[in-house]
Structure 1
């Protein structure tokens, strides 16, 4: 470990606590560079501490943030981005932040997500999750371009004692930075159940009839696959499997009271770094081929398929219209290209721009969600249909999930290719874009393919 004078943090704690009245509280955040550590080892070390864990990794960018515990959280019963931003800004204004690095992803970082549709009644499936939550972990590992940083966050009040807080933080830090290797354990599936497949296909048919009557152009419908396992699912093993099998995706996990929302999403919603904005359109899906020739043939067909091109263009136009008010120098290619994953390939179009002064990533997320790739077009008509007829509580599935830091950097993905792990059970989610000439059987097959990234690492 690279040595940093620990008394700096201890001295800061003492000064802050001495200045606080008993009724006052404040967040203190301290960042230092440490020796390289495997993010999965850090994540696994948090298990024995019985703390909620968070995980985010973009292997393409060689970037990861891993959180252990909860120093402070901002949560609501409704996913109100304006309210989240106001609470986040208030927290930062009052926080004491010691971060000598100007590295995106260091300093005070919040990780979290929200419901796809907070207006739809919640079911017991998502009881442990708020409609929206941003968590500032007690300990945060940041790995960027090979360098590792550790941030300790503590929320204190005037009644706290310096010695007890500092000793506890140092003891937990030692455990987190001295993890033990563990054997990989692939879970054994006892039962695999499609949830209401006939009703789902009938809903697809109803959606096509609705669109034939001119009430919408596209409606995205999702469904659930439920799994029972022989033993409790080990989250670190699932993350390891996703990193190995989905290397071009965002690998994420959010643990809450024993449940964990986890996945590997290929779809970025928005990234902001040093005011440079990047969003991506990822809509239109086909499987990978068994050979290079077959793969190229399927890709060519996808690039020229009318239904998929229309679905993709819905997303492109919506993103353009949504973010042009926030950006200067907007750049959008004329045609999509192929984005290839291990199991699937998608139509892909990047959107770039310069974020205007006065706007933040919160503004963009609020305007973009839900994209036509997860909701439909027109938005309100599609959401109204989903709210009334879809036989699924999506919870955080299909909604923005990501991170923000105290220097206005951040990134959110669309939380697809995901599932909710609950001990020795799991619910996997997948959806597809339905248009007026969609075939229910074909759409069912498409969602089955989209289950594969999660199903494969879970032993299916």
Structure 2
């Protein structure tokens, strides 16, 4: 575990109720930001009290939970609100592939939050004079140059065709293939600008930032509040139309599509199977709903349940990830095919991203509709998008779907 200097002694944390701060992203003092925002509420943070790096392996969520628990143990906490998200907490982001290193948990220095009529500022470590002082104004990215990622559009369609052949041959039922794009800016990319644009345009999504990974995911993997858990399964997608009538037509076609309903059922059934052993009751509707976002239309299934024991949100993540929505089914052959055909390291794209507090509460999404800023060259970033592939998938249609899923991050860069 790598710790910042402030964490060499037991943690101290003080939460203060404050007046409504308005736009949370407007108070981030510098470009290096942490965030989790939904409908304008949530938490943003900056600074680093402690950083836990988590190696790949089958028990990485358990490993992360144990090390975080050790760090929180003995912390001196002054928290009059005692709400989920107040007091000290950690933001986290895990790699998609369980075998890959690069997962991280970060305990920030300052946390600004707003939820359900309450607003607060948490400081971990020694208090500072004015933590909300803007040290560097946000600077929109300029001089953007876009490039193909690991595979060209043509080569990616060939990979999709190969996956369809394998599925039709009976190797597996579904896989999910992702592709990337690159962007180069004239100056280092300011996380705050991307966050502000994403939160404004996609308020129903969960806008996040953790250690250079920024995005607006529509998929809530798990929310734990006490013994209650909630999830939102998304699988089956079509691009938006150009008129309300075309949107309705596309939504109806998506809902009636045997291919998309089958793709969605794989994901919903897996979530049901993973959560049932952890819950005293679990509600998973048998039919999906339609979820319309500014760029795409999804099939969606909301899931609600009550935990049977004191499982933290990281315990539930361990049971869920990777879901068929981002990997495929069965998991092992789907993951093997991803490793073979994508020809790239997803890193933390399509992995869990979110936060956890000292009581094990938290909200975690799947890192979709996102970009990762290069750690060595902050003027560069990679954008990611992926599509579920089943037996009757069409490579050209999947490419169009991926292009639609790139739009949120492209718009965030271009303004």
Q: Normalising by structure 1, report the TM-score.
A: 0.83
Larger of the two Rg values belongs to structure:
1
**1:74 counterpart (52, 60, 71):** 52
Which residue does the alignment assign to 1:248?
A: 204
Matched, 1:33 2:17: yes
Shift of 1:94: 2.0
Shift of 1:181: 9.7
Shift of 1:69: 1.0
**2:381 counterpart (419, 426, 435):** 426
SS in 2 for 1:458: helix
Shift of 1:186: 5.3
Matched, 1:362 2:314: yes
Distance 1:330 1:73 in 2: 35
Shift of 1:276: 0.8
User: Structure 2: any 5+ residue segments left out of the alignment?
Assistant: 1-6
Distance 2:8 2:368 in 1: 41
SS in 1 for 2:48: coil
**2:189 counterpart (218, 233, 236):** 233
1:382-421 equivalent positions in 2, closer than 5 A: 382-421=334-373
Distance 2:343 2:90 in 1: 32
Matched, 1:442 2:397: yes
Distance 1:24 1:436 in 2: 54
Shift of 1:180: 7.9
Moved over 6 A (4+): none
Which residue does the alignment assign to 1:190?
A: 145
Question: For residues 223-269 of structure 1, what are the alpha-carbon distances to aligned partners after superposition, in whole Å with 9 as ceiling and x for unaligned?
Answer: 111122233322222111111211110001123xxxx2100000000
Matched, 1:152 2:123: yes
Which residue does the alignment assign to 2:155?
A: 199
**1:56 counterpart (36, 55, 65):** 36
**1:84 counterpart (44, 64, 74):** 64
Shift of 1:87: 1.3
Distance 2:142 2:412 in 1: 9
Shift of 1:24: 7.4
- The question of whether the paired residues in 1 share the 8 Å contact of 2:353 and 2:366 is answered with yes
Distance 1:420 1:24 in 2: 30
Distance 2:275 2:10 in 1: 35
Question: For residues 39-93 of structure 1, what are the alpha-carbon distances to aligned partners after superposition, in whole Å with 9 as ceiling and x for unaligned?
Answer: 11222x134xxxx42111111xx53211111111222222601111111222222
- The question of whether the paired residues in 2 share the 8 Å contact of 1:200 and 1:391 is answered with no
Shift of 1:148: 1.8
Structure 1 pair 85–119 and aligned structure 2 pair: CA distance change class (3 A): same
SS in 2 for 1:32: strand
Question: For residues 340-389 of structure 1, what are the alpha-carbon distances to aligned partners after superposition, in whole Å with 9 as ceiling and x for unaligned?
Answer: 11011100111111011232212210111111010000001101111233
Distance 1:387 1:24 in 2: 39
SS in 1 for 2:309: coil
Distance 2:252 2:200 in 1: 27
Shift of 1:411: 0.8
**1:98 counterpart (71, 74, 78):** 78
SS in 2 for 1:26: coil
Question: For residues 109-167 of structure 1, what are the alpha-carbon distances to aligned partners after superposition, in whole Å with 9 as ceiling and x for unaligned?
Answer: 110111111425xxxxxxxxx6221111011111113432111112xxxxxxxxxxx4x
Shift of 1:208: 1.4
- The question of whether the paired residues in 2 share the 8 Å contact of 1:41 and 1:180 is answered with no
Distance 2:62 2:96 in 1: 16
Which residue does the alignment assign to 2:92?
A: 112
- The question of whether the paired residues in 2 share the 8 Å contact of 1:41 and 1:181 is answered with no
User: Structure 1: any 5+ residue segments left out of the alignment?
Assistant: 1-22, 121-129, 155-165
Which residue does the alignment assign to 1:274?
A: 226
Matched, 1:42 2:27: yes
Which residue does the alignment assign to 1:7?
A: none
Distance 2:311 2:149 in 1: 43
SS in 2 for 1:383: helix
Distance 2:202 2:321 in 1: 24
SS in 2 for 1:209: helix
The alignment's C-alpha RMSD in Å is 2.0
Shift of 1:194: 4.7
Which residue does the alignment assign to 1:319?
A: 271
- The question of whether the paired residues in 2 share the 8 Å contact of 1:272 and 1:278 is answered with yes
SS in 1 for 2:119: strand
Distance 1:452 1:82 in 2: 35
Distance 2:325 2:161 in 1: 19
Which residue does the alignment assign to 1:374?
A: 326
